[in-house]
Amino acid sequence: MLTVRLMGCPELTSNERQGAIGRFLAVLQVDFGGLEVALEAHAEFRRLCEKYRPHRVPSSERSAVDRWEKAYALAKTAAFRPWPNLDQGAHFDIEFTPSGPASTNG
């Protein structure tokens, strides 16, 4: 099951939050060539960050982290395109459990 939450921006309505989440996921899907591939990249990003925390991921494994961070930044920019000043401090929380239907929560 996929759950995506927009954290922050309490001034957005539920419909605006869902629209932002939709734009965010659309960019990730295009950037990675599919949502499943994007979710795999996110899982690898999280795995590497946890493995090396509190230190920086070494350059030998840095490409996966850099790719996710670049795609995330592009997706976040697209998500907040209607409200460019609201994205400061906001972030998208992504959880994926490989069973059940997909959902998005604002």
Q: What is the pLDDT along the chain (106 residues), one digit of tens a residue?
A: 889 999 988 889 999 999 999 999 999 999 999 999 999 999 999 999 999 999 999 999 999 999 999 999 999 999 999 987 877 788 999 998 776 555 555 5
Q: Give the pLDDT confidence score for residue 53 in this predicted structure.
A: 94
User: Can you give the pTM of this predicted structure?
Assistant: 0.85
Assign residue 56 a region (left: φ > 0; alpha: ψ between -120 and 50; beta: otherwise). Answer: beta
Q: Give the pLDDT confidence score for residue 104 in this predicted structure.
A: 58
End-to-end Cα distance, the chain: 16
> Strands, E, within 1-106: which ranges?
2-7, 91-96
Contacts of 13 (CB under 8 A, 6+ apart): none
Q: Give the pLDDT confidence score for residue 84 in this predicted structure.
A: 79
Q: Give the pLDDT confidence score for residue 41 in this predicted structure.
A: 95
Q: How far is CA 97 from the centre of its chain?
A: 15
* Domain regions of the chain by residue span: 2-96
